[in-house]
Copies of this chain bind each other. A is one copy, B any other.
Amino acid sequence: MLRYLTSGESHGQSLISILDGVPSNIELNIDEINEELKNRQSGYGRGKRMEIEQDTINILGGVRGKKTLGGPISIEVKNKDYENWSKYMNPMDDVDLESKKVSNVRPGHADLVGCLKYDFDDARNVLERSSARETASRVAVGAICKQILKNFDIYFTSHVVQIGNIKDNNLYEFDYIKENVDNSQVRCVNKDIEKDMIHEIDKVKSTGDTIGGVVEIRVKNVIPGLGSYTHFDKKIDGELAMHLMGTQAIKGVEIGIGFDVANNYGSKVMDEIIYNDEDGIRRNTNRLGGIEGGMTTGEEVIIRCAMKPIPTLYKPLNSININTLESYQASIERSDNCAVPACSVVCENVVAFVICKYFLDKIGGDNLLDLKENYNSYIKRLGDRGWKR
């Protein structure tokens, strides 16, 4: 079973992840993994921190000569800023606890509850871990998962479909998004809407406010049968929702037409099943986003997530000092005013982990060769039933 743990603070020495359950003999393209990390750091609306960090992975174990060994893979993403922060953050020595102390907890962050739960008088101890910096680990992990699935022609993309009130409601082909999205500063594949989004970000910035949005993740060539209706914790839509809702700033997750299922009658929500000899079993529509009964159908997986605006505003919010309980205006820790494009990259890689986990679980096999054999047997059997890859 594919699983991973992440560790590390925003201004600590490194972000460390261990990804366990990757089959052996998978060739990794390190540049492609670093490309994902770079995409995470890009996007219109980011602040200065992104210029300090230029993330690249350092694999410390589980891989030899770019091929996976079948054991746990440890991945380091160094925090380049650590040299300036070691006197405050050093794990193994006494540190200066006063200079960077955060007593004024920030609404919308983990600060207040984190201090209560973990018995801290300094929200620094919270925010260093709750920070979205941790998503660099998730992207690194997801990027490795993509490399596994590439062997089976399963591909991922994502784009931004809303920033503030600017929406991109157009339907795009997977390949169109994949080819164009990296060229857009806001990961919007429509040039006109992109302009409006950038304008919206600028407008919000000028008021000292922040802005959220909606991202859409798409997965192509997923085979039918990932996940299962047989038990509540085996449904792949549930696990996707868990990982996405558990991503920093996400407040809503929907699959296919999502909340719009409520606005339509049943006859306009289901995807009718058709068959012809050439294409095999197919659907004319994909309103359910490639998932029925907690299982992938073989159609494209389509998911959307709502990201809340970054809680740290130049125009600060009323809050309190956690130690004195006096009113205060929440301090500014960072200066992005829109991180929706980054969120798109993060969510895409988060989805890649889940799809990969279910794929490996379904197909079985400890190494690439066995995986391929099992995969081919499955595809062949489905072919006998009328479903074609």
Contact = CB atoms under 8 A, between A and B. Distances in A.
Interface stretch (A40-48, A102-110, A150-158, A169-177): A102-110
A382 B263 contact: no
B108 A271 contact: yes
A373 B364 contact: no
Contacts of A257: 251
Q: How many copies does the complex hold?
A: 4
B246 A238 contact: yes
A243 B92 CA distance: 28
Q: How large is the interface on A (under 10, 10 to 19, 20 to 34, 35 or more residues)?
A: 35 or more
Contact of A262 (B162, B264, B325): B162
A8 B311 CA distance: 38
A1 B296 CA distance: 19
Contacts of A62: 7-9, 91
Determine the main DSSP class of A at the interface with B: mixed
A110 to B, nearest CB: 2
A168 interface: no
Given A66-B91, A251-B256, A252-B254, A237 B246 contact: yes
Interface in A215-249: 224-225, 228-233, 235, 237-247
Interface in A249-276: 250-267, 269-275
Contacts of A114: 229, 293, 295
Interface in A171-223: 204, 207, 209-214
Interface centre among A207, A289, A377 (most CB of B within 10 A): A377
A387 to B, nearest CB: 6
A145 interface: no
Contact of A125 (B12, B64, B272, B313): B64
Contact of A263 (B71, B165, B225, B267): B165
Interface string A273-295: 11100000101000011001111
Interface in A77-134: 89-95, 97, 105, 107-120, 125-126, 128-130, 134
Contacts of A238: 241-246
Interface in A282-327: 283, 288-289, 292-298, 306-311, 313, 315, 317-320, 322, 325-327
A37 interface: no
8 contacts: A113-B225, A117-B228, A164-B262, A241-B244, A252-B261, A259-B306, A266-B308, A374-B374
A36 to B, nearest CB: 15
Which 4 residue pairs across A and B have the least CB separation, nearest first?
Answer: A364-B364, A110-B293, A238-B246, A266-B309
Nearest to A208: B267
A244 B238 CA distance: 7
A63 B230 CA distance: 12
Given A59-B91, A297-B113, A231 B274 contact: no
Contact of A310 (B162, B266, B365): B266
